[in-house]
Amino acid sequence: MPDQREQWKSKLGFVLAAAGSAVGLGNVWRFPFVTGEEGGAAFLIIYIIAIIIIGYPLMVTEISLGRHTQRNPVGAFKSIAPNTPWWLVGALSVLTGFVILSYYSVIAGWSLSYIVKSLAGFPIGIEATEQLFGEHTTSLFEPIFYHFLFMAIVVGVISAGVVKGIQRVVTFLMPVLVVLLLAVVIRAVTLPGAGEGLAFLFRPDFSAVSWDTILAAIGQSFFTLSLGMGAILTYGSYLSKNDEIPNSSVQVIGADALIAIISGMAIFPAVFALGFDPGEGPGLVFVTLPAVFAEMPVGGLFGFLFFVLLSIAALTSAISLLEVVVAYFVDEKQWPRKKASATIGLVAFIVGLFPVLGYSALDHVTFMGMDILDTYDFIADSIMLPLGGAMIAFFAGHVWGTRNVMEEANKSATGIRIGDWAAPLLKYIIPIGVIIVMIVGIIETIGG
Ligand code: PFF
């Protein structure tokens, strides 16, 4: 056993770290393009309902599991249900963290490279930025270099520990992130013609809602809140008994949703003002936005700021992914933290080489029509996270018991408390609902 488990040094430390984990590529890269594809405001409303009825009870549960057991995901399940196979849910969490980290770092690497590219100025016209993105992702050396660089930074932070590494970095970077984001929003909403973009984001058209929209909203709510894979559980294990779990959860979820919406407000007005397509898909941030920056007044500076903020958001999330795996090896296998960080970082880097090469040397490899990166993302986001989330809710509802969840969660709570209304959600609605949604999602993807 490591001597004394580290604890966040302040209440804000945990909230910033958990918000840092939540706010990431999911908010700034994924949320806008999914919202764009799913038709805008109507999707936004469904997404907000999903984060309240699924996200909030699950976040409270994960933090409570972590704080109660003071362990990594595998240890947490073992300590509540010893000599049962429930530890496998923890093992699934650790594996999910590892898989997401391996390809998250690839996308974060693109973002790092775009900081450098922004200095030279982005080319004018969507064909030119498409070509720039294509040249970057299909080249052999560059994406590997930036993937490695990003992973090395993540390893550096995690090696330094919970307080000296994670807490120090998020305390500095989260405020920087907010300031940069606000600067980009102010630029975007003051462009002539920006109103149409805001209307797209805020004026709902429910005729566009389909089963698909609901699936996308639920999938997005897990990913964006870092739920279903023990990241929040692990951060909760460093939380002191005096902290208020329901209150902190509301703050983290509120910050995450706000940053997603503000990211939308930074991106859609600019996209509409310059007449681009909001439904561009995953290329929205790497193809459409650079074209927007190239044409907008002082776009060079804002392009640079945007990719710095995207990289910061990715970093504070990626450290939580690595921390889940590291906490497992430190707690359960007694590995020294530095050895665990470096070894796992290296292996995740290697596993992440396949999605990188999926755009170059391995571009002939596809699974069900998806390239390697999309396949990793599909397995993690559409199967592993919902499965993990459903099992964690089921475990809390039926094995640990909702009474124990609430007791731990409401300990020292003076403000908001989690009420009995959450019990049926944890016991039945989240497990059953999420599994149905997962199965339908898989069938739709396989059916093409
Ligand atoms: N929440 C992160 C994002 O929105 O980008 C992604 C993520 C981080 C998912 C950590 C899961 C996780 F454990």
Q: Which domain holds residue 324?
A: 11-447
Res. 273: pLDDT tops 50:
yes
The answer to the question of residue 413 being in a domain is yes
Res. 278: pLDDT tops 70:
yes
DSSP character string of 120-142? H-PPSSHHHHHHHHHHHHH-SHH
The answer to the question of residue 324 being in a domain is yes
Q: Which atom of ligand 1 is nearest to the CA of 313?
A: 5
**Per-residue confidence (pLDDT) for residue 214, from 0 to 100:** 85
Give the model confidence (pLDDT) of 206-254 as tens digits.
887 887 788 888 888 999 999 999 999 999 999 999 999 999 999 999 9
Residues paired with residue 370 on neighbouring β-strands, in sequence order: 367
211 or 53, greater pLDDT: 53
Is the distance from CB of 194 to CB of 188 less than 8 angstroms? yes
In angstroms, the CA 381 to CA 379 distance is: 6
The answer to the question of residue 5 being in a domain is no
- Count Cβ atoms below 10 Å from residue 407 Cβ, excluding itself: 12
Torsion sign over Cα 117, 123, 129, 134: negative
Q: Which atom of ligand 1 is nearest to the CA of 314?
A: 5
Mean pLDDT for the stretch of residues 267-290? 89
The answer to the question of residue 1 being in a domain is no
Res. 1: pLDDT tops 70:
no
Mean pLDDT for the stretch of residues 288-303? 92
Residue nearest to atom 7 of ligand 1 (CA): 226
The answer to the question of residue 397 being in a domain is yes
Res. 2: pLDDT tops 60:
no
Is the distance from CB of 371 to CB of 358 less than 8 angstroms? yes
Q: Which atom of ligand 1 is nearest to the CA of 24?
A: 5
Give the model confidence (pLDDT) of 79-98 as tens digits.
999 999 999 999 999 999 99
In angstroms, the CA 417 to CA 194 distance is: 40
In angstroms, the CA 201 to CA 162 distance is: 37
Number of domains present in the structure of the chain? 1
Is the distance from CB of 267 to CB of 289 less than 8 angstroms? yes
**Per-residue confidence (pLDDT) for residue 67, from 0 to 100:** 97
Residues with CB under 6 A from ligand 1: 21-22, 24-27, 97, 100, 223-224, 226, 229, 231, 317, 320-321
- Our mutation pick for probing the ligand 1 site, out of 28, 100, 225, 252, counting the most ligand atoms within 8 A of Cβ, is 100
How far away, in angstroms, is 22 Cα from ligand 1 center?
Answer: 5
Mean pLDDT for the stretch of residues 103-128? 96
In angstroms, the CA 76 to CA 230 distance is: 10
The CATH number that applies at residue 313 is: 1.10.4160.10
405: amino acid identity, one letter:
V
How far away, in angstroms, is 289 Cα from ligand 1 center?
Answer: 22
In angstroms, the CA 254 to CA 241 distance is: 22
**Per-residue confidence (pLDDT) for residue 216, from 0 to 100:** 83
The answer to the question of residue 6 being in a domain is no
The answer to the question of residue 336 being in a domain is yes
Half-sphere exposure (CA, 13 Å, Cβ side) for 281?
Answer: 2
Mean pLDDT for the stretch of residues 318-330? 98
215 or 386, greater pLDDT: 386
Q: Which residue has the tokens 């209440």?
A: 11
